Structure 1
Amino acid sequence: MSLVTVISETRSPMSFSELVQKSGLNKSTLHRLLAICTEEGLVQFDKTNKVYLLGPKVFDLVRNAYSGYDIQTIALGEMTQLHDQFGANVTLGVPSGFEVVYLRVIEGKFALGSTQRPGMREPMHCSASGKVLMAFLPEEIVASKLQGYEFTKFTDRTITDLATFKTALAKVRVDGFAYNDREEYDHFHGISAPIFNHLGEPAAVLNIWSLVQTHATDELLSWAPSLMAAAARVTGLIGGKAP
C-alpha cells in the first residue's frame, strides 16, 4: 500500500530508480513488490517509457466503493444525532439536474406538517441545500448550470437574479454552510452543509430546517458548527475529501 501510494501521489510516472529513491525501499524488495502489484493489476509498467503507473485494479476498487455504498444508511446516524440534539427537521438531499431531491427526512418534534418529504424536489436558487451543492462545484460547471437559469420567485425573499445568487454562493464558500431565510416558503428557514466525494465535489447535503416561529434565526445559525461537523464525518465515511 505504501508503494501504491507513492505511485499515486507522483505528478508524473516514475522509473525504477526514481521509485527506489522515493519509496526508501531497497532494490530487491521494490522489485518483488512491483512484480506482485503488477500481477494483481494495482500497478502497470509502461515498456516504452520504462516507468510505472497505477493499474486498472485501483480504479476498479474506487468505482466499486462509490457505487456500493448507500449514503442514506451511512448518514442516518449523524442525522439522528442532529435530530436528538436540536429537535428540528433533518434531511439528506442529493443533486438532480437543477434541483435538490430529498432522500430521507426525520421530522422535528414541532414539524406541524413538513414541507419536505422523501422524493420531494426543490430548486437550487431558493434552498440552502441547493446553494451548498452549487457553491462548491468548479467554476466552469457553475457557469454552465446557471446559463439561462430561471430564478423563479416564491416569496419576497427569493433570490431572483444571477449576480445576487453568485454573491450568495461566495458567502457559502466562506462560511462552509448555507442559510435559507424563507426564500421558498414564508415561514420556513434552514441551514445546509455539504458532503463531499473523492473529487472534493458536493455529492450530497445535510440540512436542518424549522419554522421561524419555533426556532429564531440566531438559534438556527448557532447549530451550523454541529451540522458541518456531522457532514464532515459522513464525508470521511464515504472516502470523500473537502476541496
Structure 2
Amino acid sequence: MEKSLRILEAVAAPGGPHRLAEVTAAAAVPKSSTFRILASLAEQGFVRQEGDGRYGVGPRLRGLSALVSGGEPASIGRILDELRQAAGGQTVHLALHSGRTVTYVRKLESEQPFRTASRVGMRMPLHTTAIGKSILAHLPEEEVRELLTATGLAPRTERTVTSKEALYAQLAEVRSRGFALDDEENEPSIRCIGAPVLGADGRPVGGVSITTVTFLVSREEIEAYAPALLAAARALAPLL
C-alpha cells in the first residue's frame, strides 16, 4: 500500500503526465513493481495511461480530489485569512507532510504587489522550508536522521543549510520557540516563518507559514507575527 500511495503521488506531481522512469525515481519503487502497480491503478481508474507510455491522473483520483476539497471545513479558510490579516496582508501557506516532502494545499496570496513562485500542489524539501523544518523538529530523532540520510541536504540557494549539525541546532531552536525560520534558504529574497500543525498523537500532519519578501519585511518584523502564526497552527490542528 505504501508503494502504491507513493506512486500515486508521483503520478499526480506537477508537470505530468510522467514517464515510467520518472514515476519510478520519484516514488523510489523498483521499476518492475512500479509498472505492475501502475497497471492495477490504471485498471481501477486512478491512473490514466497515455498513448506515448506516460501516466497521468485518472478520473477516479480526480473525483476523490474533488470530494476531499469539497468537504474541507470552511473554518480552515477563515483561519488562514485571519492569519493573513494579522500578518499585514502577507502570503500564507498551508502544507501537509507527504513522506520526504511537504505539499502545499492552500495558498493565500499577499496583498502586496509581489508574488512568490509557490503554488498549490507543489512539493518542497523539508530542510529548506519553514514549514518543513517545523515538521522535522517534531518528529522522532531517529526518524529525522533516516529522512536526512535518504534525501540529503541539497542546496536550493546559497543560504540553504547543508550541514546536518547546523540543521539539528536549528531544529532544537524550533522546539524551544515554537516556530521555524526560512531566511532565503528555499528561494532568494523570500523569508518565511512556519509552525507545525500537530495531530492528536502529537505528530505533525502539516504546517502553516507566513511568507514575505526580504526587501519589504525584516527578520525582526516577520518574527513579530509568530504569536498569530502559533495561534493559527493550534486552531487548524483539529481540522486536519
TM-score by length of 1: 0.66
1:204 aligns with 206
Map 1:96-107 to 2 at 5 A. 96-107=98-109
Q: What is the CA deviation profile of residues 10-60 of structure 1, one whole-angstrom value per residue up to 9, with x for unaligned ones? A: xxxxxxxxxxxxxxxxxxxxxxxxxxxxxxxxxxxxxxxxxxxxxxxxxxx
Structure 2 distance, partners of 1:208, 1:226, is 10
How far residue 176 of structure 1 moved from its aligned partner, in angstroms, is: 0.6
- The alpha-carbon distance between structure 1 residues 115 and 199, as it changes in their structure 2 partners (threshold 3 A), is same
Q: Which residue of 2 aligns with 1:142?
A: 144
Say whether 1:188 aligns with 2:194. Answer: no
Residue 96 of structure 1 and its aligned partner are, at CA, apart by 1.4
Match of 2:225 in 1: 223
Moved more, 95-104 or 69-78: 69-78
C-alpha distance in structure 2 between counterparts of 1:156 and 1:220, whole Å: 21
Structure 1 pair 74–200 and aligned structure 2 pair: CA distance change class (3 A): farther
- Does the aligned pair in 2 maintain the 1:190–1:210 contact within 8 Å? yes
Of 126-135 and 111-120, deviating more is 111-120
User: In 1, Cα distance between the equivalents of 2:71 and 2:141?
Assistant: 28
How do 1:71-110 residues align onto structure 2 when only pairs under 5 Å count? 73-85=74-86, 86-110=88-112
Contact (CA 8 Å) 1:89, 1:111: kept in 2 or not? no
The alpha-carbon distance between structure 1 residues 217 and 167, as it changes in their structure 2 partners (threshold 3 A), is same
Q: How does 1:121-140 map to 2 (within 5 A)?
A: 121-140=123-142
Q: What is the Cα-based RMSD across aligned positions, in Å?
A: 2.1
Aligned residue type for 1:212:
T
Kindly provide the amino acid, as one letter, of the partner of residue 151 in structure 2: Y
Q: Which residue of 2 aligns with 1:158?
A: 160
In 1, distance between residues paired with 2:104 and 2:156?
A: 19
Q: 1:115 deviation in Å?
A: 1.5
Contact in 1 for aligned 2:102/2:206 (Cα 8 Å): no
> Structure 1 pair 111/201, CA: closer, same or farther in 2 (3 Å)?
farther
Unaligned 5+ segments in structure 1 are 1-66, 239-243
Structure 2 letter corresponding to 1:83? R
Structure 1 residues 162 and 71, CA gap change in structure 2 (3 angstroms): farther
Partner letter of residue 152 of structure 1? A
TM-score scaled by length of structure 2: 0.67
2:129, 2:185 within 8 Å by CA — same for their partners in 1?
yes
| Distance in 1, Cα, partners of 2:72 & 2:173 | 27
**In 1, Cα distance between the equivalents of 2:72 and 2:166?**
32
| Pair member with larger Rg | 1
Partner secondary structure for residue 127 of structure 2 = helix
Give the stretch that moved more between structures: 114-123 or 72-81.
72-81
Partners of 1:174 and 1:72 in 2: CA distance = 31
Partner of 2:181: 179
Change (3 A) 1:95 1:236: closer
Amino acid at match of 2:78: G
Residues 112 and 149 (structure 1), Cα distance of their counterparts in 2 relative to 1, 3 Å cut? same
2:234 corresponds to 1:232: yes
Check the 8 A contact 1:90/1:106 in 2, yes or no. yes
**Shift, 1:78, TM fit:** 1.1
Q: Deviation digits for residues 204-236 of structure 1, max 9, x if unmatched?
A: 111100101121111100000110011112224
CA contact (8 A) 1:126 1:183 kept: yes
The percent of aligned pairs where both chains have the same amino acid is: 31
